[in-house]
Amino acid sequence: MIRSYSSGELSRESFQPHILVLPRLRTSVNFYSQMLNSRGCRFHPEFKLHCHPKTLFLPARSSSSNVKKKRYGGVLPSILRSLDSDKDLEKTLASVCENLSPKEQTLVLKEQSNCERLIRVFEFFKSLKDYVPNVIHYNIVLRALGRAQKWDKLRLCWIEMAKNGVLPTNNTYGMLVDVYGKAGMVKEALLWIKHMRLRGLYPDEVTMNTIVRVLKDAGDFDRADRFYKDWCIGRVDLNDIELDSMIDLDNGSGSAISFKQFLSTELFRTGGRSPVSGTSGSPDTESSVRKPRLTSTYNALIDLYGKADRLKDAADVFAEMLKSGVAMDTITFNTMIFTCGSHGHLLEAESLLAKMEERGIPPDTKTYNIFLSLYAGAGNIEAALEYYRKIRKVGLFPDIVTHRAVLHILCERNMVQEAETVIEEMEEFGIHIDEQSLPVIIKMYIAEGLLDRAKMLFEKFISDHELSSKTSAAIIDAYAERGLWSEAEAVFYGKRDSPRQNRSVLEYNVMVKAYGKAELYDKAYSLFKSMRNHGTWPDECTYNSLIQMFSGGDLVDHARDLLGEMRAAGLKPKCQTYSSLIACYARLGQLSDAVDVYQEMISAGVKPNEVVFGSLINGFAETGGVEEALQYFRMMEESGISANKIVLTSLIKAYTKVGCLEGAKRAYEKIKDLEGGPDIVASNSMLNLYADLGMVSEARCVFDNLKETGSADGFSFAAMMYLYKSMGMLDEAIDVADEMKQSGLLRDCSSYNKVMACYVTNGQLRGCGELLHEMINRKILPDMGTFNVLLTSLKKGGIPIEAVTQLESSYQEGKPYARQAVIITVFSLVGLHAYALKSCDAIIKAEIPLESFVYNAMIYAYGSSGQIDKALNVFMKMKDDGLEPDIITYINLVSCYGKAGMLEGVKRIYSQLKFGEIEPNESLFKAVMDAYKDANKPDLAELVNQEMKFAFEGPDYSESEIEGESKSEEDIVLDL
């Protein structure tokens, strides 16, 4: 929030470079129009700032850093030094303050910075024999009590003042309005004005100015404007402030009685006496028309209208100030510059700066701070930094606001080098980083990965300063956001110089958050249990965070226990806390427990929101509990909560579970009526339902709409592929698969699996192999679904069933190189030999023990690529390793022999098969046949075919022989 300028001083809000830029008003500044027109600026005819040469200007006020303490003459300096240094205050007062004049007494009172010491000094003066009570002394004491928010003592002082016959003045009331307003008690502040009117006093300009400022700071711009305009015509109407409408403030600020009781008794009782008879004739009474004459009043009004976005009124006040001859000061220009700049009129703000210097009112540090923040808010960092550099160029010094602002600007943009340059400049002038800037700088270092610098800066700061709990929590949170729990822990358990410095509940809460982000739930719970032992009690935030954290981590028992403990401690869980626990139970399928927490929530008087109902509806929808889901949907509507897309999508899901098309369509139509229409989740749910029901045209309509809006995702394409495959529309399924690939939606293993399965179903095995290679290249690891597709492709591609079975069992058993063996075989089958051989070469170079199935895959790969010598070398290595060939080895070998025309090799394996040395196997018979065909020996292939038929089908017996054989067998049985 940017600092605002009004009533002669900066606001107390911290200065940060964030500006709300409103729609631009084009502003006319007559005295600077030539320069602005040359820069291409256009102006709004209703917003004109006029400066005249004869206008009075006050000297610029110096920056706060240059303000010198007022010096006194005579004995006062030594008296004040004695009072500051001596511990026995009453003894010092008795020795040096008995013979002071009323004016000297006033100065001594004003110089007391501590409220308690001021009261003691005042009590001493009142004890003097010749002391005469006066309103100035009481004003000083009342102001100090108000600033310290000691309201009971203030009321007693007021009563004492009345008893002593000291009547309040305009200054008294203005001061009371000021202290109550700054304490945030705006209504009470206005009641002092109501009391003032009952006493016959009319607010002077200073008091009016104070009231306007209090209302402005409270954001009540209309009332501030109305009060000012009423004051100008001699009317102060506060009839809308009634005592009976006030909230009782009993003990709200440590009070024994309420403010209402106080005003209705003591204030109005003492206020019943008018201090002056015939005040109606006074020039300060009602009905007198008046105009403000103080510079501070105009400054406050300009700031008021600027904050209220009434730029024309601000300009009118500025013009009236000039017209009335009211002297301007630095604050006037600062306020007007801020008003123009914060509404986007930076050229006008620049023109005001030029005119300010032209009229002999040099800008102060605050002026440059305003421009620094304005340009930062507008995104012009170079201009902002230029104003930072200008401060020293013109002979001023950056203040704490300047350094805080420029560091925030640089750190929020992670401009490390520039920020460190500013820090070095500060160190050269002996200026330390202020506490508010420390978390911002550390956050920048963390974002840039410069953890060592962050740690060094933190340790350097705490070696010289005591860190507040708020700042410590901000630093812990900066680490927590990045998941750096150990670094956050180091700050949390860091140095504590003061015995008073127990860690605050805020620090515990952000440390719990740090553990939660890192999913270190045990540490978070342990920290929570240790809080009370260290004098810190958990608050609602602690419990809410832990319950939500444990619910998110599915630690539902811990979360439920904490909820009970929280309620037993008298703390009220938030709706979000109940919601997280309900969602956890629903997610885990423990719906009865979810309903119990819902009932507990209702009994605790916490109103459920759409998230609570959505979790319950979705939970029942997932388990097919349509009736229960609809029941909570009706309850949600009855409670006045409109169904959102998430809830309606859950309903569609519930209807889908039971195949209720009409119910799903009704929910989908409701989603269409919501802003933005159906989202991808709802559309995919309907698409999935249509696919399950085989409704091609309806599904295609939803799918086409998703593609037109660019919303179709991997699930949408997968659902359409599934639908087309299930309906036997394989060409359409392939088209969708190709489209999905071209759309760049193959991003994970699941999406690849679906498209590869579609290719395999349609017999496009090479396309499957190419996708497999692409998947591996993108470092997407194949999962079980991938290997199921690959094994299916091997079966469809004609690989012997024995080889597929061997690879499948090896993969399922998790044997070494089983995955590589499957992939090698697939690449070889579809003709992607280069990829297969690359893997084979890598395995051979590894020189590690292998099992038979790996050797078999490599023999097949080399053989199918035509590299017979390498295939045979692999076979020899297999034998050297002591592994006997199995049926798959023989199948692969005989294939290699046939392709190489090595008939002796084929005959040798066939002879072993024929004479029983190798167990008869249909796949091996077929491999021998294919080998003879490859060797151009079809006659031998036919002989093998006949032998295979004899081996597996037996001799060709006639029907009569079979019947006879059956009869004889039956006779034997009967004989037995």
Res. 503 pLDDT band, cuts 50 70 90: confident
Least confident of 13-22, 101-110, 202-211, 789-798: 13-22
Report all structural domains of the chain as residue ranges with CATH numbers, in order of start. Answer: 75-239+290-305 (1.25.40.10)
Instruction: Show the CA angle centred on residue 737, arms to residues 732 and 742, nearest 5°.
Output: 125
260 falls in which pLDDT band (50, 70, 90)? low
HEC-encoded secondary structure of 72-83: CCCCHHHHHHHH
User: Can you read off the two tokens belonging to residue 401?
Assistant: 């606001």
- pLDDT value, residue 731: 87
28: enclosing H helix or E strand: strand 27-29
Mean pLDDT estimate for the chain:
81
Cβ atoms of 304 and 212 closer than 8 Å = yes
Q: Is the pLDDT of residue 194 over 90?
A: no
Higher per-residue pLDDT: 828 or 266? 828
3-state secondary structure of 708: helix
Higher pLDDT, 784 or 72: 784
Distance, CA of 690 to CA of 701 (rounded, Å): 10
Residue with the bigger pLDDT between 668 and 497: it is 668
3-state SS class at 588: coil
Of 1-15, 233-247, 256-270, least confident by mean pLDDT is 1-15
Pair type for strands 5-6 and 9-10: antiparallel
Query: Which residues are CB-neighbours of 533 under 8 A, at least 6 positions away?
Result: none
Question: What is the per-residue pLDDT for 258?
Answer: 53
Virtual torsion, Cα 694, 696, 701, 702, nearest 10 deg: 30
Q: What is the pLDDT of residue 12?
A: 30
Residue 300's contacts (CB-CB under 8 Å, 6 or more residues apart) are: 6, 7, 209, 212, 213, 216
Tell me which H or E stretch contains 44: strand 44-49
Cα within 13 Å of Cα(875), Cβ side: 22
Amino acid in the structure at residue 280: S
Question: For residue range 331-354, what is the model confidence (pLDDT) as tens digits?
Answer: 989 888 998 888 888 898 889 888
pLDDT tens across 91-115, in order?
777 776 777 888 888 888 888 888 8
Please give the average per-residue pLDDT across 800-822, as a whole number: 94
Strand, helix or coil for residue 29? strand
- Specify the DSSP class assigned to residue 7: T
Least reliable range by pLDDT among 50-59, 147-156, 502-511, 618-627? 50-59
Give me the pLDDT at residue 971, please: 41
* 261 burial type by CB count under 10 A (0-12 exposed, 13-18 middle, 19+ buried): middle
Q: What is the C-alpha to C-alpha distance for residues 382 and 399, in angstroms, rounded to an integer?
A: 20
Q: What is the pLDDT of residues 656-691, one digit of tens each?
A: 877 788 888 888 888 888 887 888 888 888 888 888
- Written as six digits, the tokens of 45 are 């005819």
Beta carbons of 582 and 548 less than 8 angstroms apart: no
Determine the pLDDT at residue 86: 62
pLDDT in tens, 877-930: 999 989 999 999 999 999 999 998 898 988 999 888 888 888 888 899 898 999
Asked whether 14 and 436 are in contact (CB, 8 A), the reply is: yes
The three-state secondary structure class of 484 is coil
Q: Distance between CA atoms of 411 and 420, rounded to whole angstroms?
A: 10
Say if residues 31 and 386 touch (Cβ distance below 8 Å). Answer: no
DSSP β-bridge partners for residue 843 = none
3-state secondary structure of 648: helix
For residue 587, the tally of other CB atoms under 10 A from its CB is 17
511 and 492 in contact (C-beta within 8 Å)?
A: yes
For residues 337, 342, 347, 353, the Cα torsion angle rounded to the nearest 10 degrees is 20
What percent of the chain is predicted at pLDDT more than 70? 83
The whole-angstrom separation of Cα 416 and Cα 414 is 6
Task: Read off the amino acid at residue 155.
Answer: R
The residues near 24 (Cβ < 8 Å, ≥ 6 apart) are: 343, 344, 345
